[in-house]
Amino acid sequence: MSKSLIVNNNIRIDAPVARVWEVLTKPEYIRQWDSLPEDFGDYEIHPATVIEWPGYSKMQVVEFELNKTLKYSLFVPAWKDEEITNVGYTYNLSVDENGYTWLGIEIGDFAILTEGDKYYEESITFGETASQKIKQLSEAGYRNT
């Protein structure tokens, strides 16, 4: 593995960390910045959540720290290797000294995949658009102006 293929995206959000966490874990918001299977219910994401698109992909929550970290492991049957478990999506939240919430999105590492460059390129776009939409949804539900 000569290089890593990890997408990193950070964005400042003018909303409380609990509000951003809602946008990351409630299906009514997730559906506005990412896709969910049609039969996925309206229950919040929790430590045992598995999101599956049969025959296409499966994401499983592997780390869950309220208002701080949400990490999914991604499995795609087309990769033909069930041992690949370190590809995923991580959402990290922190609050700076001015009270702003920072959202960090990390996607990858796709370097272990045969077509890693393709997944990496697609994930750059997702990281940018998802972070902007999460910011918009979080701030819209919070602003007092």
Per-residue pLDDT of the chain (145 residues; tens, 9 = 90+): 458 899 999 999 999 999 999 999 999 999 999 999 988 989 999 999 999 999 889 999 999 999 999 999 998 888 876 667 679 999 999 999 999 999 999 999 998 888 889 999 999 999 999 999 999 999 996 654 3
Q: What is the pLDDT of residue 125?
A: 94
State the amino acid at position 71 in one-letter form: K
In the numeric block, the tokens 């959000």 are attached to 13
Q: Say if residue 35 is exposed, middle or buried (CB neighbours under 10 Å; 0-12, 13-18, 19+).
A: exposed
Q: How far is CA 54 from CA 11, 58, 75, 91, in A?
A: 32, 8, 11, 24
In the numeric block, the tokens 């990769």 are attached to 79
Q: What is the pLDDT of residue 53?
A: 92
pTM greater than 0.75:
yes
Residues forming a β-bridge with 40: none
Taking residue 128's Cβ as centre, other Cβ atoms within 10 Å add up to: 14
> CA 56 to CA 43: how far, in whole Å?
22
Q: Are strands 88-95 and 69-75 parallel, antiparallel or unpaired?
A: antiparallel
Q: What is the pLDDT of residue 128?
A: 96
Q: What is the pLDDT of residue 112?
A: 85
> CA 41 to CA 49: how far, in whole Å?
11
CA nearest neighbour of 109 among 56, 59, 73: 73
Who contacts 78 (Cβ-Cβ below 8 Å, separation ≥6)?
A: none
